[in-house]
Amino acid sequence: MVRLPAWLGALDRKLLRDIWRLRSQAFAIALVIAAGIGMVVMSFGMIRSLEATRDAYYDRYRFADIFASARRFSESLVNDVQSLDGVSIAEGRLTSNGTLDIPGIAEPITTRIHSLPRVGGMPRVNALVLRSGRLPNPVRPDEVLASEKFADAARIGLGDTIEVLLYGKKQRLRVVGTALSPEYVYAIGPGQIFPDNRRFGVLWMGEEHLAAALNSSNAYNEVLIRLEHGAVAPEVVRRVDNLLERYGGRGAAPRSDQISDRFLENELSQLGQMTAILPPIFLGVAAFLINMVLSRLVESEREIIGLLTAFGYRNRAIMWHYAKLALVLSLPGLVLGLILGSWMGRGLAGLYQEFFVFPFLTYRAGSDVFLISCLITITVVLIGAAQTVRRIGRLKAAEAMRPPVPPNYSGGIARLIGKIRKLDEPTRIILRGLVRRPLRSMLGSFGVAAALGLYVASAGSMDNVGMMTDLLFHQANRADISVSFAEPRDERVLFELERLPGVMRVEPVCYIAATLSAGHRSRSESLTGMKRDSDLNRLVDIDDGLVQPPVKGLMLSTILAKQLAVAPGDRVEVNITEGRRPHLTLPVRSILKSPVGNPAYVDFASLGPLMRETPLASGAYLSVDPDQADALYRKLKAMPIIAGFSQRAAALNGIDETVGETMGIVTLFNTAFSALIVFGVVYNNARISLAERARDLVSLRVLGYQRSEVSYILLGELALIVIASLPLGALFGYYLSQYLASSMSGDLFVMPFALSTATIAFAILLVLMTAAVSSLFVSSRLNRLDLVSVLKTRE
């Protein structure tokens, strides 16, 4: 026996020895608490770290508060914007899309090029973090900066030359440095939802040289605005819109509409929602386990409690003794959870850097997160212990010291079980055991069901993402390649594309910048013109499958319809912000539950009359003979009109690599956690059943029952609890998964709910296997019970 220090009081010595005796159950509880607290620390800490990093990054590198773009405007307009009330800095720049030809990569790569100011070279708004090399020399027209992740992924080193096709002209550029920008924390190319650093990169080059390349000297097409403290953003947006109207303005947008910031914000809110759902499940189970263990302990220590009372211990002291026991019992779980959470937090920060690029991202939980975790643990423990501790307070000394009478089983249901003649007695013991403590049996089932549901929900999110990928890349987008044009072109360009090697089919698509408004609500959104009966790019509704764009009028995504508060039949004001800039009023014909983005669709054929010009295509979908792909890429790289390029297979690959991997890790964690809960609940249930039934079971062994027959009684009860939990857990998992899917859906995408039966079946298998393993543990203890000593002792 461990020697305890002399200053420790008798009750505290008892406490420590009790814990030692209960160590295996304490271990199971610790694991469940650790899982819950670990998640709290990980996600709270992660939210904190992300927010702090984002705020510092945005602030230090002066991330724009408002973004505005137009076809072309002069320096003096930037000065007009600068002089608006509330504007702190206004900076003009040129931005263009292009394609890159990089040695060793067959397909063209989409790039976005921003200008760097003539003076100083470093933007005052959206300042860059120079990661390597230097800023381009203003007198060298060919020098550029490349975004760091892209340079890494495409293996572009400092001094390397890349060929860019910009505004119809091929240019050779030399990379002299790599940089990060607060504008590209989440860097996605046109039409992407996940970053693919190999196929989308950002370049920065000197203003004069970019202007020359774009035939746009002394002009800008974007203005970035930093606001003064307390400035009213919507008001500034309105004024900027007015100023840019004449210059082909495409609508100014506040930071909250900027794509990178939106994704980051979306991630933070998802993380917050996960934190609100998952840890409470773990901690609820932990409270239940503590309740179980403690109430069993108190039951078996009635005489000791009576004795203590008889010796003059106050009720309060005895109650505190057991409450303290529960607290000490949870301590290892808390410590383990803090360590585990910090470790997982660091791991998660690493994962985040796959998607979100910060100059620095250190996971730091902070002492307040630790403090909150401690408070949560204490609360959970006290909730778990409350009922039992209160019962101690009511126990009278004399009553406690009286030998326990046999528990009363003569209730109605127990009698009913007696009426079923076909049952054998061991089965009767199992059933009466269950109905005598219905609450405990039910809670046991709930505990296992929670674990099952947790697994279903987390593995189910893989199903959902799988469905999302299927919707996007198999049902909607079936084109092998999609290209976007440097500027809108009439349909002749399609014939040109059709004649390229390996091209089997070409379909046009048209994006038109527009502001849609209904009443006082308004959104800047592009209108997408789609051909009816299109084969390569189809409209897919999450619930209804394939649909067609309406012949006349608009089809809005559910997200956009909600933002504008319109329904089919309502009319929407559409202000086209390009071409002849017509102002239209169009009826909403239908609503599309679309997985991604905020689209508003019109029939491609109706565009001409609407725009009052021949219909133009802004891009095209191509189906391609894979054998001739390389020849096609060579041609495309040389076509001035091509400003963007994406390959379906590559996009799918990218999703598998980044998203699949990340979700895989998260699912692995959740699987382990679910197994922990099942183990914790089943093992504790079994240990307590064993303790309560030891005498019965050993008596039966003495009376000639075989080990297997006795194990049947012990494990049969557990089996029933587990079996009852299966439908419950599957149902819980179903709804939890659905909830998680809807909580992941924001104004960026709608996560389809696609839980598969295979996932549920696997979850059930997992629970059964974990239950079987914990049963093995317990039945090995049963086999080790000493027949003689159990009989000699009164319970």
Partner 1 sequence: MAGPALSRSPQDESLYIIRGLTKVYGEGPTAVHALRGIDLELPRSAMVVLLGASGSGKSTFLNIVGGLDEATDGEVFFEGQELTAFGPAELTEYRRNSVSFVFQFYNLVASLTARENVSLITEIADDPMTPEEALALVGLEKRIDHFPSQLSGGEQQRVAIARAIAKRPKVMFCDEPTGALDSQTGVIVLDALDQVNRELGTTTLLITHNVVIADMADRLLRFADGELVEDRDNPHRVAPSELRW
Provide the binding-site residues for partner 1, judged by CB under 8 A. 405-410, 414, 418, 424-426, 428-429, 432-433, 436, 695-696, 699-707, 709, 787-788, 791-792, 794-795
Nearest approach, Cβ of residue 409 and partner 1 (Å): 5
Nearest approach, Cβ of residue 430 and partner 1 (Å): 9
Report the C-alpha gap between 519 and 573 in whole angstroms: 9
- Give the residue with the Cβ less far from partner 1, 387 or 706: 706
CB atoms within 10 A of CB 775: 19
- Give the residue with the Cβ less far from partner 1, 423 or 638: 423
- Give the residue with the Cβ less far from partner 1, 425 or 533: 425
Nearest approach, Cβ of residue 693 and partner 1 (Å): 9
Report the C-alpha gap between 11 and 9 in whole angstroms: 6
* Burial degree of 154 (CB within 10 A; 0-12, 13-18, 19+): buried
For 761, the enclosing helix (H) or strand (E) is helix 757-784
Nearest approach, Cβ of residue 425 and partner 1 (Å): 4
Nearest approach, Cβ of residue 541 and partner 1 (Å): 57
From 249, 349, 425, 423, select the one nearest 42 (Cα to Cα). 349
φ/ψ of 624, rounded to 5, equals: -135, 145
- Give the residue with the Cβ less far from partner 1, 76 or 793: 793
Helices 438-470 and 707-744 pack at an angle, to 10 degrees, of 50
From 670, 766, 669, select the one nearest 725 (Cα to Cα). 766
- Residue 752, classed as helix, strand or coil, is coil
Report the C-alpha gap between 76 and 74 in whole angstroms: 5
Residue 601: C-alpha distances to residues 67, 480, 548, 590, 766 (Å) = 24, 22, 10, 10, 45
Plot region of 215 (φ>0 → left; ψ -120 to 50 → alpha; else → beta): left
- Give the residue with the Cβ less far from partner 1, 534 or 779: 779
Helices 425-436 and 707-744 pack at an angle, to 10 degrees, of 40
- Give the residue with the Cβ less far from partner 1, 50 or 429: 429
Nearest approach, Cβ of residue 721 and partner 1 (Å): 16
- Residue 546, classed as helix, strand or coil, is strand
- Give the residue with the Cβ less far from partner 1, 253 or 429: 429
Q: Give the position of tokens 């510092």.
A: 56
Nearest approach, Cβ of residue 288 and partner 1 (Å): 23
Nearest approach, Cβ of residue 688 and partner 1 (Å): 15
Q: What's the per-residue H, E or C state across 192-259?
A: CCCCCCCCEEEEEEEHHHHHHHCCCCCEEEEEEEEECCCCCHHHHHHHHHHHHHHHCCCCCEEHHHCH
Nearest approach, Cβ of residue 308 and partner 1 (Å): 24
From 547, 536, 542, 548, select the one nearest 477 (Cα to Cα). 536
Nearest approach, Cβ of residue 785 and partner 1 (Å): 12
- Give the residue with the Cβ less far from partner 1, 346 or 428: 428
Tokens linked to 308: 């203590």
Nearest approach, Cβ of residue 745 and partner 1 (Å): 51
Report the C-alpha gap between 373 and 36 in whole angstroms: 9
Q: What's the per-residue H, E or C state across 321-355?
A: HHHHHHHHHHHHHHHHHHHHHHHHHHHHHHHHHHH
- Give the residue with the Cβ less far from partner 1, 408 or 757: 408
- Give the residue with the Cβ less far from partner 1, 585 or 708: 708
Nearest approach, Cβ of residue 300 and partner 1 (Å): 15
Nearest approach, Cβ of residue 331 and partner 1 (Å): 36
Residue 128 · residue 63 · CB < 8 Å: no
Nearest approach, Cβ of residue 795 and partner 1 (Å): 8
Residue 639 · residue 497 · CB < 8 Å: no
- Give the residue with the Cβ less far from partner 1, 254 or 426: 426
Nearest approach, Cβ of residue 453 and partner 1 (Å): 31
| DSSP letter (8 states) at residue 130 | E
From 112, 164, 171, select the one nearest 637 (Cα to Cα). 164
CB atoms within 10 A of CB 771: 25
Residue 97 · residue 200 · CB < 8 Å: no
Q: How far is CA 580 from the centre of its chain?
A: 42
- Give the residue with the Cβ less far from partner 1, 428 or 593: 428
- Give the residue with the Cβ less far from partner 1, 230 or 406: 406
Nearest approach, Cβ of residue 751 and partner 1 (Å): 49
Q: Give the position of tokens 């909250």.
A: 256
From 118, 93, 352, 68, select the one nearest 202 (Cα to Cα). 93
Report the C-alpha gap between 562 and 287 in whole angstroms: 41
Interstrand relation of 554-557 and 583-592 (parallel, antiparallel or unpaired)? parallel
- Give the residue with the Cβ less far from partner 1, 346 or 436: 436
- Give the residue with the Cβ less far from partner 1, 570 or 696: 696
- Give the residue with the Cβ less far from partner 1, 83 or 410: 410
Plot region of 745 (φ>0 → left; ψ -120 to 50 → alpha; else → beta): beta
